[in-house]
Amino acid sequence: MIVYVGNIISGHGKTATTIETLGKLLQKEGFELKLTSNKQNKILRLADMLWAVFKYRKKLDYVLIDTYSTTNFLYAYYVSKLCISLKIKYIPILHGGNLEERLKSSKAKSELIFKNAYANISPSLFLKTVFEKYGYSNLIHIPNNVELKVYPFKERKAVKAKLLWVRSFAEIYNPQLAIRVLHGLQLNGVDASLCMVGPRKDDSFEKTQQLAKELDVEVTFTGRLSKEDWISLSEDYDIFINTTKFDNTPVSLIEAMALGIPIVSTNVGGIPYLINDQKDGILVNPNNPIEMIFHIKKLVTTPEIAQQLSQNARKKAESFDWEIVKEQWKSLLM
């Protein structure tokens, strides 16, 4: 039996997290999994997590722990302490491109969590190298996954500057850069449009809307969409832009690859470990609208580049298919 600890927050208007996607897939493979917690209050959520581990302590083989760099890092810390005291094997799953800051600022807590773990799962090769740099050795790379069959491939040949942005509206994802890129394209005489998909996480949503108003550009804001809805929406767009300041291995980029949408992304964190620049995506310096505009214009005017990126991206995405990745999870947990 396995208890999987993480933030089950899609019911509160947020984007589904790994526990909700990976957890369901593992259940389909026959693993007896208890998922926790969907409590909105963070203190109640932590209590729920700890209670689930204690309640099933005599039956447990493993505890999986989604581990982030924000205040949710404390969930991992207290759940790890409980597992250690109960002599239960636990496995942190490392998320968030800013976890290195936690290794620096919370050294004692980090050592307790990660050195006592049965294994630390890094979906990102970037985070794996970061943890190795800090002396951690019990690391296994199991990539983020998608169910490839639900992502219909549409080869992009002659593309237009129809831009798609899919992320939560949070400051670290720099959504305002997308507005500046759209504005710059239009100033350059490019017929460009932008659709931004994702829920509000902080006041960057209002700031992004305000900037669009100030620059007098029309942007489609859809709010949070189901996976099925945004996949359907993606058929009307030709270029996927990722504007983030920090990142790990975002599933949204893997999804865009699977759909065959050429990607122009900031070159931060784990992104260069995912995207091979000029082969299956385009990487630009962070917070640099001029560079992003240049490459979008190049994709529009050079269809053979867009087509090659589209084909190569889909091929790269095939390595993240659940049918392949699940074998690594089975090897670890069975």
Whether residues 230 and 307 share a domain: the answer is: yes
Task: Render pLDDT for 101-155 as a digit per residue (tens, 0 to 9).
Answer: 999 999 999 999 999 999 999 999 999 999 999 999 999 999 999 999 999 999 9
Rounded Cα distance between 247 and 260, Å, is: 21
209-239 as b/e: b if 16+ CB within 10 A: bebbeeeebebebeebbebeebbebbeebbb
Phi, psi of 162, rounded to the nearest 5 degrees: -95, 100
What pLDDT was estimated at residue 96?
A: 75
333 part of a folded domain: no
Grouping H, G, I as helix, E, B as strand and the rest as coil, residue 281 is strand
200 part of a folded domain: yes
The pTM assigned to this predicted structure is 0.89
Choosing from 142, 177, 205, the residue where a domain stops is: 142
Whether residues 315 and 191 share a domain: the answer is: yes
How many domains are contained in the chain?
2
Whether residues 13 and 138 share a domain: the answer is: yes
What pLDDT was estimated at residue 10?
A: 75
What pLDDT was estimated at residue 176?
A: 98
Supply the range of the domain harboring residue 67.
2-142
Choosing from 88, 117, 142, the residue where a domain stops is: 142
* Cα 110 to chain centroid, rounded: 22
Whether residues 167 and 192 share a domain: the answer is: yes
What pLDDT was estimated at residue 17?
A: 84
In this structure, the dihedral spanned by the alpha carbons of residues 263, 171, 289 and 287, taken in order and rounded to 10 degrees, is -100
Report CA-CA distances (Å) from 175 to 181, 207, 212, 219: 10, 9, 11, 12
Whether residues 29 and 101 share a domain: the answer is: yes
List the chain residues with pLDDT less than 70: 11-13
What pLDDT was estimated at residue 12?
A: 65
Whether residues 62 and 178 share a domain: the answer is: no
Rounded Cα distance between 203 and 83, Å, is: 37
330 part of a folded domain: no
Choosing from 107, 142, 177, the residue where a domain stops is: 142
Whether residues 135 and 180 share a domain: the answer is: no
